[in-house]
A = this chain, B = another copy of it.
Amino acid sequence: MANLDFWFDFASTYSYPAVMRIAPLAATAGVAVRFRPFLLGPIFKAQGWDTSPFNLYPAKGRHMWRDLERLCADHSLPFRRPDPFPQWSLLPARVAQVGLAEASGEESWGEESWGEEFCRSVFRAQFGEGRRIDDIATIGDILAQLGVDGDAVLAAARAAPIKARLRDETQEAQQRGIFGAPSFVTGDGELFWGNDRLERALAWAARGG
């Protein structure tokens, strides 16, 4: 089956429509998608940025917020601008690694995989409800709703293997030439950047890329 790596950061605005849209589109295209959350912070830092470019360049930021609002309306996604922005995405990124590691069969915290649904829930909480994703209460609520053992998952998220896994993922993203999120990488190494490239990336993957 054709496959596609889906790289995103939990603080990334345009990753919100991408994470909410990708599963049904991928099913239709016949493409298996792997969720790969990483941290944009170290990559931005290497480019000389200490915060989001949407904060560094106010005109770009104004357009982005309005554009995201329009996109969410078009896709019938709830939208509420988070404050502060960007949020610190380390905690949800580590927790997601726990769920996604389980899905890939490396670990097990329950009978069903909850990694992808956790990712969607975090984005919905942040950009749909204006909740803080760097707040352990938000993450705990989401885990409870997913029916997983929050204490065990949070302990695993803070342990060395998951910390290392997230660092490795971030390093791999940078090595693959990723400079923003969301990004999509096909099996043959084609890089597509941006929610607005999601359909093209799936089509490329489906053609055997």
Which A residues lie at the B interface, using CB under 8 A? 47, 57, 59-60, 62-63, 66-67, 70, 74, 177-180, 190-194, 196-197, 200
Contact = CB atoms under 8 A, between A and B. Distances in A.
Contact of A197 (B67, B178, B180, B193): B67
Most buried by B among A59, A74, A193, A197: A59
Contacts of A59: 47, 177-179
A192 B60 contact: no
Nearest to A49: B57
Within the oligomer, what is the number of copies of this chain?
Answer: 2
B179 A63 contact: yes
B57 A193 contact: no
Contacts of A191: 63, 66
A60 B179 contact: yes
Q: Which 6 A-B pairs have the closest CB atoms?
A: A59-B179, A196-B196, A60-B179, A59-B177, A63-B193, A47-B57
A67 B197 CA distance: 9
A32 to B, nearest CB: 22
Nearest to A191: B63
Contacts of A74: 200
A68 to B, nearest CB: 12
Nearest to A192: B67
A202 to B, nearest CB: 14
A177 B63 contact: yes
A193 B47 contact: no
